[in-house]
A and B are shown apart, each in its own frame.
Chain A
Amino acid sequence: MKISPSTLLQLPSGATGLFLHEAHSHRRQVEKLNQLYDSWAYLPVHTPLLDFSEAYTGLVSEADAKRVYQMFDRDGHLLMLRWDITLFLVKQIRSMLSPKCPVLRLCYADSIMRHEDAEDIARNEFFQTGVELIGKPGLEGDLEVLLLLQQAFEALRLRPSVHVGSHSLIDAVSTELNSLQKEELSHAIKYRDQAQIEALLGPNLASDAKLFSLICPAAQAPEVLAPHLKSIKPASRDAVEQLLTLLSNLLDIEPSFDLHLDCSEIGSQGYHSGMVFQAYLDGISGPAAAGGRYDRLLERLGSPSPAAGFSIMLSRLLAVLPESAQSELYHAQGSTFQERVADAKRERQQGRRVSL
């Protein structure tokens, strides 16, 4: 049978590989991050590539369901390929939670696979590294995750702007909306369509609707939010106040953190709750990292426990890593092979990468 050239030259949508220098750079970054995660006492996990689709019923949005690759096993079970690491990880880990071990600190570096339309190609989210902090509720858990994110980028010698918002805000205002309207509201908030937000929420929530347009450096957040606090729903006020506490604590601990209050950040996944964030870097067309709290996810899988985490879109970062972060190659010197071997040995002892 003749093999069509297109099957030899292309990969299915959503699949990719890393080769040669790109793969080398990728591995070095993963090593740096793994070292950091280890120093913060996070244990590595490797999630399965396949799982039963049924286990995630109700956890996959309609939009995401269209992008997931699914197949049948020999017994007729519908399976899905790993398309979201947090979901796959949490399902496995829930059975390991116990009163003796109430907090789990986990880290991963894995690939995901999902269909990407031509217009989504710029997403480049195939390789992700990140952490999940399971069992630690509230402010301290949020702070730990965000501070570790900041350290992770510092290890990569990158300084992103981190925009922090709250999924609780959309929960607070959408109690009267049906699921389709909620989806429309999320879209309008994400794309800053203020007229649509106000139309969906109606005149009774006009003040709450205005919150979603607010964006400013974290240090200015109390001043920017103050005029809004009196006229919003109590649940919105609680969400905003928690956000302010989080931002002020982060700035106290890490004043150099490039943090922004951004109420249009409502979480990239349907399972988010509480604080959510995305990190942005110049030269990258999408978020460089995303994360947040997802306290309800484990409960929906039958093991209630608070959780928070982040994913760094490592494949996107390769294009913007500082030059010095790339590993330089040294070619061994000498007129004979033996001399070059000896030179290489000396240089390798100095920690250099040497080619014969």
Chain B
Amino acid sequence: MKELVTTKNTSPLTFALPKGRLEDQVREHFGARDILFSFSDRKLVTEDSKGYFSLMLVKNADLPTYVMHGIAGLGVCGEDVLYEASSKLIKLKQLPFGSTRMCLAATKELSQQIKALGDWTSALRQGSLRVASKFTRFSRDYFHSLGIPVDLIKLNGSVELAPVLGLAPFIVDLVETGSTLKANDLEVVAVLQEIKVYLVANPAYYKQHYRRIDELVGLLD
């Protein structure tokens, strides 16, 4: 197993982890490289078994803020969150897990009507598109890039409810298996973007610790 040579006798690198699904995948990925860690007793800060990292567990959407302010120098984050936070961070490496899709979805009935018309973008150019989403910045920029006006409703969770309850006919959300959509009688109209997960760094932190960070990137291959 490779070791981080330049980490000896230095303070650990600060690393923010997103709570939830990605946390487990990072733990597994690091574990396969003999870097072990756990958060005990509801604590949100820990160190790994090798002393490479001081890890902090933060809410997914807050992770870019912690990294941008230098509280954590490094982090693991999806493109969706980075885009919403308009983060100016270095993407050091795409990680081989956690990928998902940003999708436009609607009720099955509406979705099939659109699909029957062929090109979904033409079908949506009928006035302003009403969309509910957690990802309002992404949605606005995406539809504007297609020349489609969009009327956005910001939601913080359970976005699938919006078409079901009549708040908005469309939603833009991350779709992994599609089971939540299916359970609510919704379906994907179009995949807007593949969302990848990256190891990210605060630019100034990278400059200060580039030798150790480059070694880490090599270790994570």
**Do A and B interact?**
yes
**In the docked arrangement, what's the CA distance between A260 and B205, Å?**
14
A285 adjacent to B68 (CB under 8 Å): yes
A285 adjacent to B207 (CB under 8 Å): no
> For B91, what are the chain A residues with a Cβ–Cβ distance below 8 Å?
191-193
The interface size bin for chain B is 20 to 34
> For B88, what are the chain A residues with a Cβ–Cβ distance below 8 Å?
119, 191
The interface size bin for chain A is 20 to 34
| CB-based A-B contact count at 8 angstroms | 49
> For B203, what are the chain A residues with a Cβ–Cβ distance below 8 Å?
190-191, 286
**Which chain B residues have a beta carbon within 8 Å of chain A's beta carbons?**
64-65, 68-70, 85-92, 202-208, 210
A161 adjacent to B208 (CB under 8 Å): yes
B68 adjacent to A119 (CB under 8 Å): yes
Cβ of A69 under 8 Å from chain B: no
**In the docked arrangement, what's the CA distance between A287 and B205, Å?**
9
In-complex Cβ contact of B208 among A117, A191, A192, A281 (8 A): A281
A277-304 toward B: CB 8 Å interface, digit per residue (1/0)?
0101111111100000000000000000
What distance in Å separates the Cβ of B95 from its nearest Cβ neighbour in chain A? 16
> For B64, what are the chain A residues with a Cβ–Cβ distance below 8 Å?
119
B208 adjacent to A278 (CB under 8 Å): no
> For B86, what are the chain A residues with a Cβ–Cβ distance below 8 Å?
117, 119
**Which chain A residues have a beta carbon within 8 Å of chain B's beta carbons?**
117, 119, 121-122, 161, 163, 190-193, 215, 260, 262, 278, 280-287
> For A215, what are the chain B residues with a Cβ–Cβ distance below 8 Å?
207, 210
**In the docked arrangement, what's the CA distance between A145 and B87, Å?**
32
Chain B residue, CB-CB nearest to A288: B204
**In the docked arrangement, what's the CA distance between A260 and B91, Å?**
21
> For B90, what are the chain A residues with a Cβ–Cβ distance below 8 Å?
191-192
Contacts A119-B86, A119-B87, A191-B90 given; does A161 touch B207 at CB 8 Å: yes
What distance in Å separates the Cβ of B6 from its nearest Cβ neighbour in chain A? 12
B68 adjacent to A282 (CB under 8 Å): no
